[in-house]
Amino acid sequence: MRLNELSDNPGATKNRTRLGRGPGSGKGKTAGRGVKGQKSRSGVAIKGFEGGQMPLHMRLPKRGFTPHNQSRYAELTIGKLQAAIDAKKVDVKKALDEDALVASGVVRRKRDGIRLLATGTLKAKVTLSVTGATKAAIAAVEKAGGSVTVAPKKAAPTKE
């Protein structure tokens, strides 16, 4: 076999449709775009436009309020922490703070702080320092012989 003998499998390629090449082509005159109007022209993209009618996203009721300065915490469950201890990702002998948890890969990113949640069980004795923790999570850590220090969140700088 030589390079000049190579060819695609039958049906592997398809010729493009040549638009606007006369009535005999089947795609002449309007080239499959219908007749007249804005959408028959080139360069038109009307995403939410409904022809002058009030668009759906404006007709639907708006509910609720999302504060723009709301804190977003990275969540850490007790079960996930125990799994990381079992996998030897974290050293239980050292005190674990938020930076150590991020560095070991237990939490992906800190965001506004790490919040400890009481999902799962903890068997290891751990000393934790986090931004927030539920009462049940603190109780679970203390039951295993560890301790949790909840550091207050740093206040955002105010504009004056």
User: Tens digit of pLDDT for each residue in 56-65?
Assistant: 989 999 999 9
Question: Rounded to whole angstroms, how far apart are CA atoms 58 and 49?
Answer: 11
| The pair of three-digit structure tokens given for residue 74, joined into one six-digit string | 């990275």
pLDDT category at 153 given cuts 50, 70, 90 is low
> For the whole model, what pTM was predicted?
0.56
Taking all residues of the chain, what is their mean pLDDT, rounded to a whole number? 89
pLDDT at residue 106 is higher than 60: yes
Comparing CA positions, the residue from 96, 150, 153 lying closest to residue 122 is 96
Across 49-71, average pLDDT: 89
| 137 has pLDDT over 90 | yes
In this prediction, residue 3 has a pLDDT band, given cuts at 50, 70 and 90, of: very high
Q: Where are the domains of the chain?
A: 74-150
Q: What is the pLDDT of residue 54?
A: 92
Provide the CATH number for the domain formed by 74-150 in this structure: 3.100.10.10
Mapped onto helix, strand or coil, the DSSP state of residue 6 is coil
